[in-house]
């Protein structure tokens, strides 16, 4: 290593997979996936989504793992070390995307923490819509929760790879699965739950429009944490003897499973109580509290659900802060402690305008508040562009090196290598260019 110290590494391959899955499983799975699935034709959409995840998502994920593991550096340094030229710009876009996404992600994650508490302090008796409105306009409170969430995120990244990120993901990810299973059992055993399962999963191919395809691929990228160097960074802490394709498949599988299961929590409960499904943040912070409020023991179910969201958000947030921190550690030679604290605080401050926008303190921009605009810039511009260039990089510019990396220098042949190569060469770039262009509608 350049500074003479050994680069940190994951303790086990399972630790690496759980950390990647932790990054992937986030707010995107639990509120966004179920809602767009309902909107775009239920099972028909799930089918398309799964194909896109395992063809394009998997390919880009494997490409990112190969880049990071080969270079053993952050997103910018990896491109610089492997090829140089203009390529580090792709890493740069990733670091910037990390700043942007975490800035508003921290705000929403703060809400989830507040809602755990609120579940026991009147939320169940209140009108959830009014309660949500009153909460998000109470700026000091929102910012305080955001600060607390960011402090926890900083603490874990500060502790490093094995002693921080891996250690916590190994506990938090199984906990998340357990919470999800408990909530599913509650939800699907409610009288009338069948209507929700029907709405969620009944295939309706007429809703599978071009827009649905774009939505599915955009969702796949965001949900799998692709296109911004998260997986490059996590891959850079992986030892040379581990194999990559299996890890990439497992992460894709876990992420998709959690997204799918989240819908089985939400829709049966919503339909059992005859509430309109609603959309996006409204579904999570207004519709669901209304539903929980009608259940016996609702406060407990509500608290469990928001703990689930909090855990999912936390393991994603640490991966976002790690992308940024790794850059300052490798390239600027800051200590991990300094990088995580300074950048965590900067990102926290950058998130305050998002909180102010939702509170109505700062005006909207062409109908979008600050948070939505930041999300649009990251999800619809930076991530697809990043994914596009990563696929092209591996497919055309670093072909032999990538082959050596995914096959551990020829010792572990990858049966699907040729298919993977052509997905990176043409299929993924064309598909991504398509969503990029259709997704640019402001
Ligand atoms: N994958 C996370 C989610 O589904 C969000 C995320 C995107 C995290 C990009 C890291 C990088 O919520």
Give percent above pLDDT 90 in the chain: 73
CA of 23 to the centre of ligand 1 (A): 6
pLDDT-derived band at 258 (thresholds 50, 70, 90) equals very high
CA distances 402 to 213, 271, 381, Å, are 29, 48, 26
Mean pLDDT of the chain: 92
Q: What are the phi and psi torsion angles at 412 (to 5°)?
A: -125, 90
Tell me how far the alpha carbon of residue 375 lies from the centroid of ligand 1, in angstroms.
11
Q: Nearest residue CA, atom 6 of ligand 1?
A: 225
Say yes or no to pLDDT of 36 above 90: no
Q: Say if residue 216's pLDDT is above 90.
A: no
Rounded CA-CA distance 146/162 in Å is: 26
Q: Which of 81-90, 123-132, 166-175 bottoms out in mean pLDDT, i.e. has the lowest?
A: 123-132
| CA 263 to chain CA mean position, Å | 16
423 pLDDT higher than 90 = yes
pLDDT at 279: 61
Burial 235-273 (b: 16+ CB within 10 A, else e): bbbbeeebebbebbbbbbebbbebbbbbbbbbbbbbbbb
3-state secondary structure 133-168: HHHHCCHHHHHHHHHHHHHHHHHHHHCCHHHHHHHH
Task: Establish whether residue 230 lines the binding site of ligand 1, counting it when its CB lies within 6 angstroms of any ligand atom.
Answer: yes
**pLDDT given at position 333:** 96
Q: Report the pLDDT value the prediction gives residue 325, as an integer from 0 to 100.
A: 98
What percentage of the chain reaches a pLDDT higher than 70? Answer: 97
pLDDT at 441: 63
Rounded distance between C-alpha atoms, residue 220 and residue 26, angstroms: 12
Question: In terms of pLDDT, which residue wins out, 142 or 276?
Answer: 142
Q: Is the pTM of this model over 0.75?
A: yes
Question: 55, 202 in Cβ contact below 8 A?
Answer: no
pLDDT digits (tens, 9 = 90+) for 110-141: 999 999 999 999 899 988 889 999 999 999 99
Which stretch of 33-37, 222-226, 412-416 has the lowest confidence by average pLDDT?
33-37
- DSSP class of residue 124 equals T
- pLDDT of 178 above 90: yes
Q: How far apart are CA 119 and CA 305, in angstroms?
A: 10
Per-residue pLDDT at 324: 98
Quick check: CB of 320 below 6 Å from ligand 1?
Answer: yes
Q: Which residues contact 109 (CB under 8 A, 6 or more apart)?
A: 27, 146, 149, 309, 310, 313, 314, 317
Ligand 1 touching residue 354 (CB < 6 A)? no
Mutate to test the pocket of ligand 1, among 20, 22, 24 (most ligand atoms within 8 A of CB): 24
| Average pLDDT score over residue span 27-38 | 86
Q: Any idea which of 76-90, 199-213, 288-302 has the lowest mean pLDDT?
A: 199-213
Q: What backbone torsions phi and psi does residue 228 show, to the nearest 5 degrees?
A: -135, 15
What is the reported pLDDT for 121?
Answer: 93
DSSP letter string, 326-380? HHHHHTS---HHHHHHHHHHHHHHHHHHHHHHHTTSS--BTTB-HHHHHHHIIII
Q: What's the distance, CA 13 to chain centroid?
A: 20
Over residues 196-217, mean pLDDT: 83
Confidence of residue 376 (pLDDT cuts 50, 70, 90): confident
Confidence (pLDDT) at 284:
86
């Amino acid at each position: 290593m350049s500074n003479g110290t050994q680069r940190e590494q994951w303790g086990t391959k399972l630790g690496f997979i759980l950390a990647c899955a932790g990054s992937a499983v986030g707010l995107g799975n639990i509120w966004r996936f179920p809602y767009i699935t309902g909107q775009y034709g239920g099972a028909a959409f799930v089918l398309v989504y799964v194909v896109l995840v395992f063809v394009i998502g998997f390919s880009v994920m494997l490409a990112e793992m190969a880049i990071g593991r080969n270079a053993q550096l952050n997103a910018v340094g990896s491109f610089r070390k492997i090829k140089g030229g203009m390529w580090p710009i792709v890493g740069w876009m990733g670091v910037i995307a990390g700043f942007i996404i975490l800035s508003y992600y921290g705000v929403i994650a703060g809400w989830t923490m507040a809602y755990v508490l609120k579940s026991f302090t009147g939320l169940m008796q209140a009108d959830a819509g009014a309660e949500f409105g009153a909460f998000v306009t109470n700026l000091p409170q929102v910012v305080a929760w955001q600060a607390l969430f960011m402090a926890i995120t900083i603490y874990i990244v500060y502790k490093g790879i094995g002693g921080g990120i891996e250690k916590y993901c190994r506990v938090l990810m199984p906990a998340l699965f357990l919470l999800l299973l408990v909530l599913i059992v509650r939800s699907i055993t409610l009288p009338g739950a069948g209507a929700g399962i029907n709405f969620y999963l009944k295939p309706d191919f007429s809703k599978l429009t071009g827009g649905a395809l774009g939505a599915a691929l955009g969702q796949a990228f965001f949900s799998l944490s692709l296109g911004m160097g998260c997986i490059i960074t996590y891959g850079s802490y992986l030892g040379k003897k581990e194999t990559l394709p299996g890890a990439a498949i497992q992460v894709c599988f876990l992420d998709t499973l959690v997204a799918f299961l989240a819908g089985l929590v939400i829709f049966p409960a919503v339909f059992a109580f005859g509430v309109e499904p609603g959309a996006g943040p409204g579904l999570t912070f207004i519709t669901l509290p209304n539903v929980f409020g009608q259940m016996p023991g609702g406060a407990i179910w509500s608290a469990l659900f928001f703990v689930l969201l909090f855990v999912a958000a936390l393991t994603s947030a640490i991966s976002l802060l790690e992308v940024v921190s790794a850059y300052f550690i490798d390239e600027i030679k800051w200590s991990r402690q300094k990088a995580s604290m300074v950048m965590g605080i900067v990102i926290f401050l950058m998130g305050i305008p998002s909180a102010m926008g939702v509170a109505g303190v700062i005006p909207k921009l062409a109908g979008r508040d600050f948070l939505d605009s930041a999300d649009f810039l990251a999800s619809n511009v930076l991530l697809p562009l990043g994914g596009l260039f990563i696929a092209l990089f591996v497919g055309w510019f670093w072909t032999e090196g990538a082959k050596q990396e995914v096959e551990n220098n020829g010792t572990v042949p990858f049966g699907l290598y040729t298919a993977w190569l052509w997905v990176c060469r043409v299929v993924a770039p064309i598909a991504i260019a398509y969503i990029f262009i259709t997704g640019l509608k402001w």
